[in-house]
Chain A
Amino acid sequence: MREKAAITLTINGRDHPISVEARRTLADAIREDCGQTGTHIGCEHGICGACTVIVDDEPVRSCLMFAVQADGKKIRTVEGLADGEKLHPMQQAFMDHHGLQCGFCTPGFLMLAVGVLEREPDISDEDLVDVLSSNLCRCTGYQNIIKAVRAAAKEMRGK
Chain B
Amino acid sequence: MSAPGRKQATKGSGLTWVGRSIRRLEDPALITGQGRFTADSPAAHWVRFIRSPVAAGQLAKISPPEGAMVITAADLKGVKKITPMLHKFSYKPVGQPVLAEGVVRFVGEPVAAVVAASEEDAEDIADQVDVSIDETTPVTDAQAALEASAPQVHAEAPGNVILEGKVKTPDFDAIWNGAHRTIRIDARSRRQNATPLEARGGHAAYDPSTGRVTFTCTTQMPHLTRTAICDVLGFPESDLRVIAPDVGGGFGQKMSLCAEYIVLVWLARKLKSSVAWTEDRRENLIASFHSRDQYITLEGAFGKNARLLALKADIVCNIGAYSCFPTTCGVEPLMAMAEMPGPYDVQQYQCLARGVITNTCTMAPYRGVSRPVITFTLERLMDKAARAFAIDPVDIRRRNLIDKFPYKSAMGLEYDDGSYKETLEMAVKAADLPAFRKRQKEALAKGRHLGIGIATFSERTGYGSPAFAARGMEITPGWETVILTVDPSGFVEARIGSSPHGQGLRTTLAQIIADEIGVTPEMIKVVHGDTDRAPYGWGTFASRSLVISGGATLIAARKVRAKLIKIASHVLEAAAGDIVLADGLAKVAGTDRTIPIAKLAREAYTQTHRFKGEIEPGLTETGHYDPPGTFSNACHIAIVDVDVETGHVKLEKFLVAEDAGRIINPMIADGQVHGGIAQGIGNALLEEIIYDDSGGILTATLADYLAPTAHEIPPIELHHMETPSPNSITMAKGLGEGGCIGAPAAVINAINDALSPFGVEIDEMPATPQRIRAALRAKEKAA
- The interface of chain A, by Cβ under 8 A from chain B, is 21, 23-24, 31-32, 36-45, 47-48, 50, 77-79, 81-82, 87, 91, 94-98, 100-107, 110, 129-130, 132-147, 151
Which of A36, A133, A139 is B502 in contact with, Cβ under 8 Å?
A: A139
Q: Provide the B36-52 mask, 1 if CB < 8 A to any CB of A, else 0.
A: 11011010000000000
A133 and B36 CA atoms in complex are apart in Å by: 26
Partner of A94, one of B31, B502, B675, B703: B31
Task: Find out whether the CB atom of B5 lies under 8 angstroms from the CB atom of A97.
Answer: yes
Known A78-B33, A138-B196; judge A143-B28 contact (CB<8 A): no
> Is B710 among interface residues, defined by CB-CB distance under 8 A?
yes
Residue B525 interfacial (CB < 8 Å): no
B30 touches A96 (CB 8 A): no
Give chain B residues whose Cβ lies under 8 Å from the Cβ of A77.
33
| Given A48-B702, A151-B4, A103 and B196 contact (CB-CB distance below 8 Å) | no
The 7 A-B residue pairs whose C-beta atoms are closest, nearest first, are: A38-B33, A104-B248, A103-B30, A102-B502, A141-B678, A141-B674, A101-B502
Which chain B positions have C-beta within 8 A of A21?
120
Residues A104 and B37 in contact, CB atoms below 8 Å apart? yes
The answer to the question of B739 belonging to the interface, with a C-beta cut-off of 8 Å to chain A, is yes
Q: A50-B197, A101-B249, A132-B710 are in contact. List 7 more A-B contacts (CB 8 A).
A: A37-B39, A37-B40, A45-B701, A81-B32, A101-B504, A103-B26, A110-B31
CB-CB < 8 A to A105: which residues of B? 197, 248
The answer to whether A142 and B713 touch across the interface, beta carbons within 8 angstroms, is: yes
Beta-carbon contact of A42 and B31 below 8 Å:
no
Docked CA distance A48–B448 (Å): 33
A14 to B: closest C-beta gap in Å: 14
A107: chain B residues at CB < 8 Å are: 33
Q: Are B716 and A141 in contact (CB under 8 A)?
A: yes
A41 with B702: in contact, given A138-B707, A143-B713 (CB under 8 Å)? no
Bound: A129/B503 CA distance, A: 25
Determine the chain B residues whose CB is within 8 A of the CB of A97 once the complex forms: 3-5
Complex: A21 Cα to B713 Cα, angstroms = 40
Q: Is the interface of B mostly helix, strand, loop or mixed?
A: loop
Q: In the complex, are the beta carbons of A100 and B31 less than 8 A apart? A: yes
Q: Which residues of A contact B4 (CB under 8 A)?
A: 96-97, 151
A-B contact count (CB 8 A): 180
**Residues 182-226 of B contacting A (Cβ, < 8 Å):** 195-199
| A and B contact pairs by CB, cutoff 8 A, 17 listed | A37-B37, A38-B32, A42-B197, A45-B702, A82-B32, A97-B4, A101-B504, A103-B31, A104-B197, A138-B196, A138-B678, A139-B197, A139-B671, A141-B675, A142-B674, A144-B671, A151-B5
Give B615 Cβ to nearest chain A Cβ, in Å: 41
Q: Does B239 contact A (CB under 8 A)?
A: no
Contact A102 B281 (CB under 8 A): no
| Closest beta carbon of chain A to B53's beta carbon, Å | 19
Most chain A CB within a 10 A radius of its CB, from B23, B27, B28, B33 = B33
Assuming the contacts A45-B703, A50-B197, asked whether A140 and B674 have C-beta atoms less than 8 A apart, the reply is yes
By beta carbon, the residue of chain A nearest B195 is: A138
Residue of A nearest to B194 (CB): A138
Chain B: CB-nearest residue to A1: B124
Are A95 and B24 in touch, CB under 8 angstroms?
Answer: yes
Query: Whole-angstrom distance between the alpha carbons of A135 and B677 in the complex?
Result: 18
Residues of chain B contacted by A129 (CB below 8 angstroms): 710-711
B504 partner residues in chain A, CB cutoff 8 A:
101
